[in-house]
């Protein structure tokens, strides 16, 4: 009947999104996806579906679509000056009363926003990334919310509305079509209108259902083409590289990402005023199961190392900004005493005011140098904000006034994760090249990945200056 816009719908620009929408026989909804010039919704805010009831007046079901405010950061290059994305609560407070006034009997919200209130972008925006629970609590007149974005499985969660005292049911069907949320509503007739008597929800497992033969027929040729491509061998690796421990120790896998990024920026700024500046690069441990095997390397292997559609930029940082950035990154670690031994969960994914469920792995960055090593210690016995010690470039203390070109992804540079300095730093490169494709192209061109030629232990976790012991 309808779909709420998600943030990834904007990854390839508004024109392509419009072309996609034109091919659908149902509307894309986005009450908080506004035209930047008019302030009006750029997509339909809601739809009303009529359900026929034999011998009775029909039931009117209103579906309100809300998308994620983080689009303004994550797809800044595609939407800046064209669209704006205010908060879910703010827009729901406008549209739910209008829907009720139009005579709907049921209001369902489809929200591309998680149920646990938090933001990966910190305070870079005034609107939280994951706000579905806030909508249930603060906006009266909603019967149920279909939750998305966070990729969590929630069969049923009941939230009490602070205005009416009534319960609102939330449900989220995991990710990638693996689950389906089923919302059951019981309605009774009171006078000349229908009234919701009860709401419940449950999760259905898509894996227990046979493939749709028509859909399979339509997709088989394209699926086979994609599988042939991703399984194609493009090079080899002289030693396996794993991200399993990249959250808490320097690894060849992240060193490789930084190598490719730094080399791409170095080549792009040749002949510019920034050409003689030293190059640094940042990378995050997106997926701890990522692995580049020894021997033959396929497109699938490389794509698994970099799972997001981020693009590459080059910005200018001072040495002081490099340290400040690393201090922000080190917030990822919990404060501990002693040197262990610790298990990883003793140290990683620290709870913070902006990450009540723990700082996600993708908001921990490591930084490395291209022409000379950038080395540093992270003292997890110290308070956040004062953890970076022995920060050196090429063996010498980093000059806080010196300038560096930093290879950074567009998510970070737009404010994702709330890292300091990035949004206002001078940009010296932005060809919007996808980092994943840059890595694939590097392997295709060089043929051999040889970790000993670029990997080194340049940063470590310490406690009181002594290296910590971690047992995986």
List the domain range (segments joined by +) for residue 349.
233-467
Closest CA to 157 of 149, 91, 147: 147
CATH number at residue 352: 3.90.780.10
Whether 204 and 242 map to the same domain: the answer is no
End-to-end CA distance of the chain: 47
Whether 199 and 237 map to the same domain: the answer is no
Whether 274 and 414 map to the same domain: the answer is yes
Q: Is 222 within the bounds of a domain?
A: no
| Residue in this structure with the two tokens 């079901």, named with its chain if needed | 61
Give the contacts of 189 (CB within 8 A, at least 6 positions apart).
Answer: 56, 195
Q: Is 213 within the bounds of a domain?
A: no
Helices (H), 233-361: 252-268, 299-305, 319-329, 344-347
Whether 158 and 246 map to the same domain: the answer is no
- Which helix (H) or strand (E) segment holds residue 409: the answer is strand 403-409
Q: What is the pLDDT along the chain (472 residues), one digit of tens a residue?
A: 999 999 999 998 999 999 999 999 999 999 999 999 999 999 999 999 999 999 999 999 999 999 999 999 989 889 999 999 999 999 999 999 999 999 999 999 999 999 999 888 877 889 999 999 999 999 999 999 999 999 999 999 999 999 999 999 999 999 999 999 999 999 999 999 999 999 999 999 999 999 999 999 999 999 999 999 999 999 999 999 999 999 999 999 999 999 999 999 999 999 999 999 999 999 999 999 999 999 999 999 999 999 998 999 999 999 999 999 999 999 999 999 999 999 999 999 998 887 777 899 999 999 999 999 999 999 999 999 999 999 999 999 999 999 999 999 999 998 888 899 998 999 999 998 999 999 999 999 999 999 999 999 999 999 999 999 999 8
Cα dihedral across residues 294, 349, 131, 435: positive or negative = negative
Q: What is the model's pTM?
A: 0.85
Q: Is 197 within the bounds of a domain?
A: yes
CATH number at residue 27: 3.60.21.10
Q: Is 342 within the bounds of a domain?
A: yes
Whether 300 and 434 map to the same domain: the answer is yes
Whether 401 and 447 map to the same domain: the answer is yes
How far apart CA 338 and CA 341 sit, in angstroms, is: 9
Note if the bond before 40 is cis, omega within 30 degrees: no
Whether 138 and 242 map to the same domain: the answer is no
Whether 302 and 188 map to the same domain: the answer is no
Whether 310 and 413 map to the same domain: the answer is yes
Q: Is 45 within the bounds of a domain?
A: yes
Hey, which bits of 133-258 come out as E strands? 144-147, 153-160, 167-173, 179-190, 193-205, 233-237, 241-242
Please give the tally of structural domains in the chain.
2
Whether 12 and 96 map to the same domain: the answer is yes
């Amino acid at each position: 009947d309808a779909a709420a816009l998600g943030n990834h719908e904007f990854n390839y620009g508004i024109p392509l999104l419009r072309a996609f929408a034109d091919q659908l026989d149902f509307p894309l909804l986005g009450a908080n996806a506004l035209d930047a010039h008019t302030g009006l919704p750029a997509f339909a805010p809601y739809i009303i579906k009529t359900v026929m009831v034999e011998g009775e007046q029909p039931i009117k079901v209103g579906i309100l679509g809300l998308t994620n405010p983080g689009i303004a950061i994550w797809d800044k290059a595609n939407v800046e000056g064209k669209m704006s994305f205010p908060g879910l609560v703010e827009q729901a407070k406008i549209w739910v009363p209008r829907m009720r006034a139009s005579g709907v009997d049921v209001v369902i919200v489809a929200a591309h926003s998680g149920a646990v209130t938090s933001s990966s972008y910190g305070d870079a925006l005034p609107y939280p990334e994951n706000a579905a629970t806030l909508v249930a609590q603060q906006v009266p007149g909603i019967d149920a919310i279909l939750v998305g974005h966070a990729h969590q499985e929630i069969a049923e969660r009941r939230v009490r509305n602070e205005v009416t005292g009534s319960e609102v049911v939330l449900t989220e069907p995991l990710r990638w079509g693996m689950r389906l949320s089923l919302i059951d509503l019981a309605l009774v007739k009171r006078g000349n209108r229908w009234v919701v008597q009860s709401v419940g929800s449950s999760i259905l497992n898509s894996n227990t259902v046979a493939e749709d033969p028509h859909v399979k027929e339509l997709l088989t040729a394209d699926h086979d083409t994609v599988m042939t491509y991703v399984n194609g061998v493009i090079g080899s690796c002289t030693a396996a590289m794993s991200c399993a421990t990249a959250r808490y120790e320097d690894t060849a896998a992240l060193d490789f990402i930084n190598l490719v990024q730094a080399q791409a920026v170095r080549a792009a700024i040749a002949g510019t005023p920034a050409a003689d500046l030293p190059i640094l690069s940042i990378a995050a441990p997106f997926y701890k199961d990522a692995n580049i095997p020894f021997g033959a390397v396929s497109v699938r292997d490389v794509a698994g190392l970099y799972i997001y559609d981020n693009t590459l930029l080059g910005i200018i940082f001072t040495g002081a900004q490099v340290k400040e950035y690393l201090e922000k990154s080190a917030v990822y670690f919990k404060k501990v005493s002693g040197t262990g031994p610790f298990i990883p969960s003793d140290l990683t994914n620290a709870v913070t005011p902006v990450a009540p469920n723990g700082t996600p792995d993708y908001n921990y960055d490591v930084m490395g140098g291209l022409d000379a090593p950038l080395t540093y210690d992270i003292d997890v016995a110290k308070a956040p904000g004062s953890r970076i010690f022995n920060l050196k470039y090429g063996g010498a203390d980093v000059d806080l006034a010196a300038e560096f070109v930093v290879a950074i992804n567009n998510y970070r540079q737009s404010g994702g994760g709330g890292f300091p300095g990035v949004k206002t730093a001078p940009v010296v490169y932005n060809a919007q090249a996808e980092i994943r494709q840059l890595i694939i192209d590097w392997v295709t061109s060089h043929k051999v990945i040889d970790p000993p030629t670029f990997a080194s232990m340049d940063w470590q976790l310490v406690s009181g200056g002594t290296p910590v012991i971690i047992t995986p």
